[in-house]
Amino acid sequence: MNDLKTFLFWTFVIFTVVCVFFCIEATIRYQSKVGIDDEHGFGSKYEYFGQPICNNKGKLYGYELLLREFDQQDKRWRLPVGVANFPLSKAVYTIRQIDPQIIDNIHLLAINMTVNQITDFRAAYFISWVRGVINNQQLMIEIDAADLRQASPLQRHRVRRLLKGVDRQAVKVSIENVDSTQRTYKLLEPFLPEIDYLKFNVRAFDKSPNHWIDITLAQWQRRAQKDNVVVIVGKIEDQAQVQLADQLNIGLRQGYAYGQPARVQQKHK
């Protein structure tokens, strides 16, 4: 009997120590992991800009928030360098600053998330938080294809598993900066059943003697249709690129030809 009491006592002690250890580890991990709500160093150096997503008639369809970094030397805003885990809580604050005439007339509000952020244990809370701010607008989470290429096979597996659990009625998922290489095609094909949009970098499909195209935009378009994935053409700047989108009857476009990124506080028009 005493042996049983001793066994149960030490079982309780060991169980308690393990639980305390995991609680401490989770607390440390939460406090040290950036990417969702740690805004240290992001106060004035970084801002979110907004860029429209338009239909083939040039009418506003969606709006994407893009992180920009202020270059102190050149005194201008530019694409951030080496920023992998920007604080998404800043995006929620920015959404509140968007001109109501924009937010009330769009179908999609797109926010970029890295692979680390998607797999962050706080990601579900962040997504719910954003949805509570944007009311009836459809939230679209965008993942960069380059980020997926650099991720480990285990990370990509985790992303796919998480995407399978996303409520697709409430949240749409897009992979952006898709290029014309066979490598990207093979990498992204398994993700197609779990996403809603593919955004292509139109520059990757510009034909030239020095640029080899493995997979054409038309081939990508046909493959996307099998999983009911909607195609968006991004980085459109000139008339030739507009004409390419017209020829392929691609309905959603983004780029300087349809509107440049502008600071949200300036009330993007």
Angstrom distance (rounded) from CA 39 to CA 87: 6
> What does the pLDDT read at residue 31?
47
Q: Kindly report which listed range (5-19, 94-108, 142-156) carries the lowest average pLDDT score.
A: 5-19
> What does the pLDDT read at residue 102?
82
**In the predicted model, is pLDDT for residue 250 greater than 70?**
yes
Q: Is the CA virtual torsion 157, 122, 164, 229 positive or negative?
A: negative
> What does the pLDDT read at residue 205?
93
Same domain membership, residue 22 and residue 51: no
User: Does the predicted TM-score (pTM) go above 0.75?
Assistant: yes
Same domain membership, residue 124 and residue 57: yes
Give per-residue pLDDT as tens, 1-57.
556 667 565 665 576 766 555 555 544 444 445 555 555 555 567 888 999 999 999
Same domain membership, residue 26 and residue 60: no
Backbone angles phi, psi at 25, to 5 degrees: -65, -40
Structurally, the chain folds into a number of domains equal to: 2
Same domain membership, residue 120 and residue 12: no
Same domain membership, residue 18 and residue 63: no
DSSP sequence for the chain: -HHHHHHHHHHHHHHHHHHHHHHHHHHHHHHH--SSS--TT-TTTEEEEEEEEEETTS-EEEEEEEEEEEETTTTEEE--SS-SS--THHHHHHHTTS-HHHHTT-SEEEEE--HHHHTSTTHHHHHHHHHHHHTTSEEEEEEEHHHHHHS-HHHHHHHHHHHHTS-TTTEEEEEEEE-S-HHHHHHHGGGGGG-SEEEEEGGGG--BTTB--SS-HHHHHHHHHHTTPEEEEE---SHHHHHHHHHTT--EE-STTT---EEGGG---
Give per-residue pLDDT as tens, 103-123.
888 899 999 999 988 988 888
Using CA atoms of 246, 51, 134, 251 in order, give the dihedral in degrees to the nearest 10: 0
Same domain membership, residue 56 and residue 8: no
Same domain membership, residue 82 and residue 23: no
> What does the pLDDT read at residue 43?
58
User: Which range of residues forms the domain containing residue 3?
Assistant: 1-32
Least Cα distance to 265 among 100, 112, 99 occurs for 99
Give per-residue pLDDT as tens, 169-216.
889 999 999 999 999 999 999 999 999 999 999 999 988 777 789 999
Opening angle at CA 82, ends 79 and 88, nearest 5 = 75
Angstrom distance (rounded) from CA 126 to CA 133: 11
Same domain membership, residue 10 and residue 126: no
Same domain membership, residue 123 and residue 25: no
Same domain membership, residue 81 and residue 183: yes
Same domain membership, residue 44 and residue 145: yes
Same domain membership, residue 140 and residue 22: no
CATH number, domain of 193, equals 3.20.20.450
Largest CA distance in the chain: 87
Q: Kindly report which listed range (13-17, 99-103, 149-153, 248-252) carries the lowest average pLDDT score.
A: 13-17
- Within 10 Å of residue 184's Cβ, how many Cβ atoms? 21
Give per-residue pLDDT as tens, 74-90.
888 888 776 666 777 77
> What does the pLDDT read at residue 80?
79
> What does the pLDDT read at residue 89?
75
> What does the pLDDT read at residue 99?
80
153 or 206: whose pLDDT is higher? Answer: 153
Q: Which one-letter amino acid corresponds to residue 37?
A: D
